């Protein structure tokens, strides 16, 4: 997501999310990634924002792929990039995934 911009989680910004397939990243108040996901962006981001486990969610960014397969590929690539950058496991709220597939 080299060209993506962090957007503050707010009702007005959530309304701007397109109803398309893609990948999204949710960040905390420091804009540190806490979740990387894929799917129908509008529905998924809104669901995470409403989830009580995501009380630390403050920002998000999106990347439209228009293809479920491409979104899954990008999600895996973003997971690998995160692990490489921070020399750690997956982001805080991705721990349920257990690992990264190729």
In the chain, domain spans: 7-91
**Does residue 59 contact residue 33 with C-beta atoms inside 8 Å?**
no
pLDDT tens digit sequence for 48-100 = 999 999 999 999 999 999 999 999 999 999 999 999 999 888 898 987 655 44
Q: What is the pLDDT of residue 33?
A: 95
Q: What is the pLDDT of residue 1?
A: 59
From 42, 49, 47, select the one nearest 20 (Cα to Cα): 42
Measured torsion, CA atoms of residues 96, 22, 84, 57, in degrees rounded to the nearest 10: -60
Stated pTM of the model: 0.88
The arrangement of secondary structure in 7-91, i.e. its CATH architecture, is 3-Layer(aba) Sandwich (3.40)
DSSP 100: -
Query: What is the residue whose two structure tokens read 């924002």?
Result: 49
Q: What is the pLDDT of residue 97?
A: 56
The better pLDDT of the pair 6, 89 is held by: 6
């Amino acid at each position: 997501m080299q060209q993506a911009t962090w957007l503050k989680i707010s009702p007005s910004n959530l309304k701007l999310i397109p109803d398309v397939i893609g990948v999204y990243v949710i960040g905390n108040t420091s804009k540190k990634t806490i979740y990387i996901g894929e799917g129908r962006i509008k529905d998924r981001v809104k669901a995470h924002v409403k989830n009580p486990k995501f009380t630390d969610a403050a920002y998000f960014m999106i990347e439209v792929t228009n293809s479920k397969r491409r979104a899954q590929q990008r999600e895996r690539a973003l997971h690998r990039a995160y692990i490489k950058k921070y020399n750690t496991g997956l982001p805080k709220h991705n721990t349920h995934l257990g690992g990264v597939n190729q």
